[in-house]
Amino acid sequence: MVGRPELQALFGARGSDFSKQLLFFAASGYSQHAVEYADHSQIALFVYEPTGTLVPKNQHATRILHGGHHSVVGQAPRNEPPYIPAPASNPNQGFWPRVAWPFLKTHWRIIGAVVFTIGIFSSISSVISPQAGQTSADGVAALTMCLLGSPLFWWLYVTDRARKISEKQLGSGRDDTTTAGR
């Protein structure tokens, strides 16, 4: 995912010539901090889908793609009706690529943590009273896997959450015109 530092580099590369519209293209998504920074700095964010479709990822990109852009930073946007995309006729634009996959890409750590934690309780019951056709060894194997997976995913979730909070705190204390790289 594209993060805020990449967008700050683009903003800094423009210099003081605010007549230039800032456009950023990526083949993946953008972090929440990147989108917030782009909205504040009026950077248009786009994603190229594998099908070759150009998808706007914030209001500035939507305005540009649909002909309602404004070229000077700070100029108020025109009063335009909100953009409502047409129903998807492309099978690649269904529920999975538009909704499920982005959700899983963003929240896989917490989903894994919850699934493995629930699995601990489920596999304990399999060890205590195995169902027909199962042995308690099957339950022990599942319990072992869940006992290893649960803390791992919780650790991944907690460290990622701490990193995001730290980035947000650093970003709010920093001058928005500075650029920083990782």
| Each residue's pLDDT expressed in tens, for the chain with a length of 182 residues | 899 999 999 888 888 887 888 999 998 889 999 999 999 989 999 998 888 888 899 988 888 888 754 444 444 444 444 444 444 455 555 677 777 878 888 888 999 899 999 989 888 988 888 888 888 888 898 889 999 999 999 999 999 889 888 888 887 655 444 444 44
Q: What is the DSSP letter of 91?
A: G
The boundaries of the domain holding residue 71 are 4-85
**pTM of whole model > 0.85?**
no
Ramachandran sector of residue 25 (left: φ over 0; alpha: ψ -120 to 50; beta: rest): beta
65, 40: one domain: yes
Asked whether residue 180 is domain-assigned, the answer is: no
Pairwise CA distance, residues 155 & 152, whole Å: 5
What does the alpha-carbon distance between residue 152 and residue 157 come to, in Å, rounded to a whole number? 9
Domain count, the chain: 2
